[in-house]
A and B are shown apart, each in its own frame.
Chain A
Amino acid sequence: AQSVTQLDSQVPVFEEAPVELRCNYSSSVSVYLFWYVQYPNQGLQLLLKYLSGSTLVKGINGFEAEFNKSQTSFHLRKPSVHISDTAEYFCAVATRGGSEKLVFGKGTKLTVNP
């Protein structure tokens, strides 16, 4: 079975500062990895995904994430955040070959302050 740990439940940052949201996963088989974002009172939307190939993945709104197999991590980064990035971010994992189900982390609430 897979599991996902998001190491920070809340991350406050100032506008234009860099941010890193941390995600570690556990799985005995190869996985696909995802980051989803949820703006207030909305559903989740896909930010970026790692399926195979380059371990550095770029997503929407200037976010990127790096897959590190040896550390079983998939941290999300943005070099300069905006007020509009305030949202909750979820890391998720799916099993290769059984990828019809996602396992989500508990979420990290990013608050960008002026």
Chain B
Amino acid sequence: DAGITQSPRHKVTETGTPVTLRCHQTENHRYMYWYRQDPGHGLRLIHYSYGVKDTDKGEVSDGYSVSRSKTEDFLLTLESATSSQTSVYFCAISEGWGEQYFGPGTRLTVT
């Protein structure tokens, strides 16, 4: 398995609080991604990074921000969590050619 971890693995938080999810890789891959997975929607891209401090928006980026200050870490922040952000969040890494390796996921519940 690709060396990719996510933390925390589970989190329950209240509406309006900030939340940061961390993705850490040991593969030195250039690209990193954050997806959310919801029933009936498959995986939807939130943000991605193509290098340190280089990030771009995906299709569902509203309410989320990201940062990548080191190759190995990609942080996803919910500035003010809402119930609609209850989801399972997956990080992925890639060296391109479309082949991505996924982390184990973070289950976030916003009450």
Contacts and interface: CB of A to CB of B under 8 A. Distances in A.
Nearest to B1: A45
* Residue among B43, B45, B90 with max Cβ neighbours from chain A (10 Å): B43
Interface residues of B, number: 24
Interface in B15-57: 31, 33, 40-45, 48, 50
Contact of A34 (B50, B98, B105): B98
Given A44-B102, A100-B48, A32 B42 contact: no
B42 A100 contact: no
Contacts of B98: 32, 34, 49, 51, 92, 94, 99-100, 102
A84 B96 CA distance: 30
B99 A49 contact: yes
Contact of A100 (B40, B50, B103): B50
Give the interface size class of chain A.
20 to 34
B104 interface: yes
A46 B99 contact: yes
Given A51-B97, A99-B97, A100-B94, A106 B102 contact: no
13 contacts: A34-B99, A43-B102, A43-B104, A44-B92, A45-B101, A46-B101, A51-B97, A90-B42, A100-B96, A101-B33, A104-B42, A106-B40, A106-B41
